[in-house]
Amino acid sequence: MHELRDRRVLLCVAGGIAAYKTPEIVRQVLEAGAHVRVAMTPAATRFITPLTLQAVSRQPVATDLLSAVDDATIGHIRLAEEADVVLVAPATADLIGRMAGGLADDIVTATLLATTAPVVVAPAMNTRMLAHPAVVANIERLRSWSHRIVEPDSGELACGVEGAGRLPDADELVAEVAAALSEQDLTGQHVLVSAGPTREALDPVRYISNRSSGRMGYQVAAAARRRGATVTLVSGPSSLKPPRGCELVAVESAAEMNEAMRERVTAANVVVMVAAVADYRPTTVAPSKIKKTDGAAGMTVELTRTDDVLAGLARARGRRVVVGFAAETDDVREHARKKLGDKRLDLIVANDVTAEGSGFDVETNSAVLIDRHGNESETGLVGKDELADAIIDRVVGLLADAASGGRGRLEKVGQ
């Protein structure tokens, strides 16, 4: 996530069993290009050693508020001033209570009182503790101070209880840290994103599909959510984990994709149609598996055109911003400009899927972005997360243009 490049992240670790996940959090933050310092409560050092986190962070770990060495430079103040963002993970009931009470009796709480950086808090504890009125009230108090609260996952806890209270995986926590550093320029907007392939059944075990993995659409959804939008992600079959905080609607066929998008478009201000929807489907679906026929030279499958999901959404657009994608193999700009005009889009994102690093199921992409005014820009080969943010940048500009009268004022959601 490029938001983290060269940024300084302070990880505050409390004394809970979920502290075992912190080396992976540090590793992924470093992998994203950030610098990491770690501060630990006394209880945290009994679950994982400071030496472990020092080794993975490549920085000294702060554990003692009254250290003779660190206190010479007022260690907790230095930690607080250096941090661009603070992640508290795991945040135990005890630490959350001391944060809410304004205490400063260890290196972590003292640093948290001194920082002006955004604070991301990831509660992790027993389900009953999490539901206790005191813990609920303390979390709400932190939320009222604009701390970003990461809701815990549900599942089997270390104590054997099933329920909410698990610390989310490292990738999800790192995404929340990136969101805390992102400009919140889509706050109040509802973004509807489609992603992935569709599958058109031939018989109960076979289907026609394409090579889309859903990566680009999932990155667009994640970027919109990081920047403050409410996001609905309508996805064809994909092995990817959906971005945290996005509503996921799983579909399979082009018809299901069309229905799901049409049902949800009235609630959206922005539609980004990334999905690689099948253009054709088998005219008939065999009720049982089609058997191989001995001696037969071949088999013919009759195909029928599927509904054009993007064209239908564009016709029913109202004053919404509608973005389309064009995966091409030749004459990329010409095909993209034609699709932009024919479907009355606000923006089209086109790429040559035969180019190295720019096709399906890879982490990178290279695209040309063309808007309804004819403005054109090339991204070069970039990570799909960076391309997603470039697309959202253009969406934000189109929203501002529409709000100022460039294409009429945006309609209210639901109209």
pLDDT in tens, 90-143: 999 999 999 999 999 999 999 999 999 999 999 999 999 999 999 999 999 999
Q: Write out the DSSP string of 226-267.
A: HTT-EEEEEE-S--SPPPTT-EEEE--SHHHHHHHHHHHGGG
Count of alpha carbons within 13 angstroms of residue 333, beta-carbon side:
7
Q: Given 159, 205, 355, 403, which residue is catalytic? A: 159
| Placement of tokens 């489609």 in the chain | 194
**pLDDT for 150-187, tens place per residue?**
999 998 888 888 899 999 999 999 999 999 999 999 99
Q: Write out the DSSP string of 210-227.
A: -S--SHHHHHHHHHHHHT
- Please enumerate in sequence order all residues whose Cβ is within 8 A of that of 34, keeping only pairs 6 or more positions apart, or say none: 4, 5, 6, 7, 8, 9
| Residue 228: how many other CB atoms lie within 10 Å | 17
Per-residue pLDDT, 410: 40
The set of long-range contacts for 362-367, using a CB threshold of 8 Å and a minimum separation of 24, is 362/215, 363/215, 365/216
**pLDDT for 16-40, tens place per residue?**
999 999 999 999 999 999 999 999 9
**Category of 134 on φ-ψ map: left (φ > 0), alpha (ψ -120 to 50) or beta:** alpha
Query: Is 12 assigned a catalytic role?
Result: no
What whole-number distance in Å separates Cα of residue 364 and Cα of residue 361?
A: 9
Say whether 90 sits in a helix, a strand or coil. Answer: strand
What whole-number distance in Å separates Cα of residue 25 and Cα of residue 22?
A: 5
Can you list the domains of the chain with their CATH numbers? 2-181 (3.40.50.1950), 190-403 (3.40.50.10300)
Per-residue pLDDT, 412: 36
Per-residue pLDDT, 407: 52
Say whether 278 sits in a helix, a strand or coil. Answer: coil
Q: Are 212 and 197 in contact (CB under 8 A)?
A: yes
Q: Are 396 and 185 in contact (CB under 8 A)?
A: yes
The answer, as to whether pTM is greater than 0.85, is yes
What whole-number distance in Å separates Cα of residue 213 and Cα of residue 362?
A: 9
Q: Which of 19, 21, 14 is nearest to 42 (CA)?
A: 14
Average pLDDT, the chain: 92
Which residues, given as ranges, of the chain have pLDDT below 50?
Answer: 72-73, 408-415
Per-residue pLDDT, 51: 97
What whole-number distance in Å separates Cα of residue 84 and Cα of residue 76?
A: 14
Say whether 414 sits in a helix, a strand or coil. Answer: coil
Q: Write out the DSSP string of 123-190.
A: E---HHHHHSHHHHHHHHHHHHTT-EE-PPEEEE-TTS-EEEEEPPPHHHHHHHHHHHHS--TTTT-E
